[in-house]
Amino acid sequence: MLEALVNEGIAKVRTYLSKLGVDRPHEFVTRFLDNYFAINPVDIEPTDIIRRMAHIIDTAEHKFKQDVAARLPNMSKHTINNIAVSLSIVSALHTVYKILRHYYLLGRKYENWLLLMQLALVLPQIVKELSPYVKAIDAITKGIPIGDSVGPLVAYKLIGLSKRDEIEEDTVVSEVNIEGRRVFVIKAKGPGATVGKPGRALAKLVERLQCRVDRIITVDAALKLEGEETGEVAEGAGAAIGDPGPEKIEIERVAVRCGAPLDAVIIKMSSEEAIKPLSKKLAEACEKAYQRVLEIIKSRTKPGDTVIVIGVGNSVGVY
Amino acid sequence: MDGASGLYLVLFIVLMVILVIQMVINYITSKKKAQQQEPPVKFITSISCINNDYRIERDYSEGDFVGKIVGSCPRCGSPLVIDKIFSITIQQQRK
């Protein structure tokens, strides 16, 4: 069952690559399944762990994207990003499959029926949780926004078609005026599938503004608890971003350094909805979140203030 | 004493049998649920005039993305821009 799911994912990426005219797509996918892993930095010595972690993440990302780009020299950056994300989804599915196969074979080797029984009981749930990942490949290869794109969608609503400046790799900033406030909006560069580097983009922008920032607002998708409504918009304090650490800590550090209040606006959804194509309910929730951000800007800042809004998430299908 | 321990043993066996049956039922139902197909979806592209005086919805076509200019407004001549792309289930559409 799980093997079929992984093979379905691989087949989808292969079809996408064939459509793009890639030579020997099967070989191409197989090469990327096992070769790109990142090892966590040493955590018993926490000094500069964030810098080390950021360095490892960057190295892994660059290596992956460079190798994709080297094998597909004539593709646009957006297409390369879409291919890279599709390959990483298939790679993640393949890793889960390999771990489960490992325990299954271990159970058989040592005739450990308890281990095999646990696997048999948990397998249907794992298959159900992994199925959306295969659907996400469809969305990413077609360039359709996914649930995690709500942050960039709210950012788009604020900036419309305004000029975008690439301030950091795969991350853009636009400036708009909202009732006399200077509002800078940071988002991942679309419409390709990427999450950009919002934390580092914020740090660069703040440096340019010499720390004259009156408020920072982050908007992101957040995992709902079972029983909570999909598309519910909530507001709190802190950095709404779900990265492993380097980007989030950068946002927090900037807010502290500049003494800027840090707001978080979240749109609730399940983990499945976060990677599936955006539903109508979530598309409508983006409008509510946009109104909430406007409300924060209008009620908690005054004309002449400088506000930074960060639309966190994957910009697939969003300019 | 022997009679009491025999009774406990029987009770224990009965409980174990019930537990195993329940586990098997749970396994089968969860397996069925995992295999259940989700309702088919279709993708909709919503287009609006930047002056908000005109809006249409059509089926998604490859190459669409939010922020793409797809023509000019039949009312005011301003650019028509894709402002939403979302999925709906086929049942939702019939309603």
CA angle B85, B91, B93 (to 5 degrees): 45
Q: Which residues pair with B84 in a beta bridge?
A: B46
Q: Is residue A120 part of a domain?
A: yes
B88 CB within 8 Å of a chain A CB: yes
CB A140 within 8 A of CB A274: no
B25 and B45 share one domain:
no
Q: Is residue A318 part of a domain?
A: no
On the question of a cis peptide bond just before residue A191, with omega within 30 degrees of 0, the verdict is yes
A281 and A204 share one domain:
yes
In this predicted structure, what is the pLDDT of residue B92? 58
Q: Which residues of chain B have pLDDT under 50?
A: none
Dihedral through CA A156, CA A161, CA A166, CA A169, nearest 10? 40
In this predicted structure, what is the pLDDT of residue A218? 97
CB-based contact B62 A143, cutoff 8 Å:
yes
A160 and A269 share one domain:
yes
CA nearest to B30 within chain A: A124
Distance from CA of A193 to the nearest CA of B (A): 12
In this predicted structure, what is the pLDDT of residue A232? 96
B49 and B31 share one domain:
no
Total-model pTM: 0.86
CB-based contact A283 B84, cutoff 8 Å:
yes
A78 and A211 share one domain:
no
A124 and A41 share one domain:
yes
A116 and A162 share one domain:
no
CA distances, A69 to each of A28, A75, A77, A252, A319 (Å): 12, 7, 8, 33, 21
Q: Structural domain of residue B64, as residue ranges?
A: 41-94
A35 and A18 share one domain:
yes
The rounded distance, in Å, linking the Cα atoms of A254 and A247 is 11
List all residues 6 or more positions away from B61 whose beta carbon is below 8 Å from its beta carbon.
Answer: B45
CB-closest option in A123, A128, A191 to B65: A191
A20 CB within 8 Å of a chain B CB: no
Q: Is residue A158 part of a domain?
A: yes
Distance from CA of A112 to the nearest CA of B (A): 18
CA nearest to B87 within chain A: A279
CA nearest to A316 within chain B: B65
Q: What is the pLDDT of residues A131-170, one digit of tens each?
A: 888 888 888 988 899 999 999 999 999 999 999 999 998 9
CB A130 within 8 A of CB A142: no
B8 CB within 8 Å of a chain A CB: no
B90 and B46 share one domain:
yes
In this predicted structure, what is the pLDDT of residue B93? 58
CB-closest option in A161, A190, A279 to B65: A190
B45 and B10 share one domain:
no
Question: Residue A197 is part of a domain; what is its CATH number?
Answer: 3.40.50.1470
The rounded distance, in Å, linking the Cα atoms of A198 and A135 is 26
Distance from CA of B67 to the nearest CA of A (A): 5
CA nearest to B61 within chain A: A142
B90 and B49 share one domain:
yes
| Structure tokens belonging to residue A9 | 């994912």
Give the gyration radius of chain B's Cα atoms: 30
B49 and B73 share one domain:
yes
Q: Which residues 32-71 on chain B approach chain A with CB closer than 8 angstroms?
A: 33-35, 41, 43-44, 46, 50, 60, 62-69
Q: Is residue A319 part of a domain?
A: no
B50 burial level (CB within 10 Å; 0-12, 13-18, 19+): middle
Tracing tokens 């709902």 back to the chain, one arrives at A224
CA nearest to A319 within chain B: B67
Each as own residue / partner, the long-range contacts of residues B29-38 (CB below 8 Å, 24 or more positions apart, any chain) are: B30/A124, B30/A125, B31/A123, B31/A124, B33/A124, B33/A128, B34/A1, B34/A124, B34/A125, B34/A127, B34/A128, B34/A131, B35/A1
Which chain A residues are closer than 8 Å to B26 by Cβ?
121
Residue A181: alpha-carbon gap to chain centroid: 29
B19 and B47 share one domain:
no
Q: State the DSSP code for A220.
A: E
A70 and A87 share one domain:
yes
A227 and A256 share one domain:
yes
Which chain A residues are closer than 8 Å to B92 by Cβ?
280
B25 and B51 share one domain:
no
The rounded distance, in Å, linking the Cα atoms of A243 and B11 is 52
CB-based contact B67 A161, cutoff 8 Å:
yes
Q: DSSP string of B40-95? A: PEEEEEEEEETTSS-EEEEE--TT--BT-EEEE-TTT-PEEEEEEEEEEEHHHHH-
Closest CA to A31 of A74, A78, A63, A77: A63
A1 CB within 8 Å of a chain B CB: yes
B23 and B45 share one domain:
no
Instruction: Strands of A71-170 (E only): list them.
Output: 165-168
A183 and A290 share one domain:
yes
Closest CA to A187 of A309, A58, A61, A289: A309
Q: Structural domain of residue A87, as residue ranges?
A: 2-142
Q: Which residues of chain A have pLDDT under 70?
A: none
Q: Is residue A316 part of a domain?
A: no
CA nearest to A287 within chain B: B84
In this predicted structure, what is the pLDDT of residue A241? 93
B86 CB within 8 Å of a chain A CB: yes
B49 and B88 share one domain:
yes
A156 and A280 share one domain:
yes
A239 and A285 share one domain:
yes
